[in-house]
Structure 1
Amino acid sequence: MNKLKKLRENREISQSQLASIIGVSQKTVSAWEVGRRNPKPRELQKLEDVFGVAKEEIFFNLFSYKM
């Protein structure tokens, strides 16, 4: 689905901590990790900045287009 949970756990950041950094709720981070919700563009950019990983790599399914 996405790599967010793995990145977050590798950095030893809780969902609550990440939520605080990004400016969303812990429930929102949880929803991103399980694929129930997608981050908004500004949230994607903040995640990219926090982890130093391209947003396309974190949320591949958002950027996979079928031709």
Structure 2
Amino acid sequence: MKLRKALINYRGKRSQKTMAELFGVSQQTWSAWEVGRATPPAKTMQKIAKMSKKSVRTLFPDIFN
């Protein structure tokens, strides 16, 4: 597992719980996304990318390499 640093940076000082609520998932799910244990559905990845103004490839580099 590799940390998804761009996703963590997008969260900033907000809690994982806050981010999870924003995207309609549990805190544990958001945490799993950050550490690469799980990957959000494509639609959710696109939403995160749009809101963060970063590409999906930047946020989830392990998926595309």
Same fold (TM over 0.5): yes
Residues matched between the structures, number: 62
Q: Do residues 57 (structure 1) and 58 (structure 2) align?
A: yes
Q: Structure 1: which 5+ runs fail to align?
A: none
Q: Which is higher, the Rg of structure 1 or of structure 2?
A: 1
The match for 1:5 among 3, 8, 30 is 8
Q: Which amino acid counterpart does residue 54 of structure 1 have in structure 2?
A: S
Q: Percent identity?
A: 35
* Structure 1 stretches of at least 4 aligned residues deviating more than 4 Å after TM superposition: none
Q: CA deviation at 1:44?
A: 0.1
Structure 1 residue 35 and structure 2 residue 32: aligned? Answer: no
Deviation at 1:6, TM superposition (A): 2.0
- TM-score w.r.t. the length of structure 2 is 0.84
Corresponding residue of 1:15: 16
* C-alpha RMSD over aligned residues: 1.1
